Amino acid sequence: MMELTHLDDKGNVKMVDTSGKPVTLRRAVATGTIYMQETTLEMIAEGNIPKGDVFASARIAGIMAAKRCDELIPLCHSIPLDSVSVELHPLTDCDDLARVEIRSEVICRAQTGAEMEALTAVSIAALTIYDMIKAIDRTAVIGDIKLMEKSGGKSGEFIRGDH
């Protein structure tokens, strides 16, 4: 059975001690999607959302969230981030399913990984989009948030097989 790293020998919650781990180059990629009405996506593309530039706001919010991940997630380490990117891809498929696919990549040199930072960036970017469109589209749905890739550290490389 796998040892639970966030519990001490008495079962109390603790922060994992990373002091003995080497600093290595770490990279994490996360993705997520926000689904919406096609007319809402058109309004975003045309710059007609009353709250302003949806994509610029979502990118900035995602980057800021990654930088503050340790303040948002209990027991998450504060790590120095070298790079955070948030990409937004508006799409409408043949079933007229309008959506914005969100991708975040985080790179750092640290003693622990950047998975939570990448996932937080995607989550907050999606929430920012929702906040900016909720007055015109309450049907929007956020989903599919997942880690796609990670590298660096003791556990090595992970690449999700379904992408």
Domain ranges, ordered by start, for the chain? 24-151
Cα–Cα distance, 96 to 91 (Å, whole number)? 9
Query: Which residues in the chain land under pLDDT 70?
Result: 1-4, 94-96, 163
pLDDT of residue 4: 64
Asked if residues 33 and 144 have their Cβ atoms less than 8 Å apart, the reply is yes
Among candidate residues 9, 93, 95, 131, the one labeled active-site is 131
Query: What is the side-by-side strand order in the sheet with 158-159?
Result: 81-92, 98-110, 24-36, 141-151, 158-159
The CATH homologous superfamily to which domain 24-151 belongs is Molybdopterin cofactor biosynthesis C (MoaC) domain (3.30.70.640)
CA 142/CA 101 separation, integer angstroms: 10
Q: Are 140 and 40 in contact (CB under 8 A)?
A: yes
Establish whether 131 is a catalytic residue.
yes
**What does the pLDDT read at residue 132?**
98
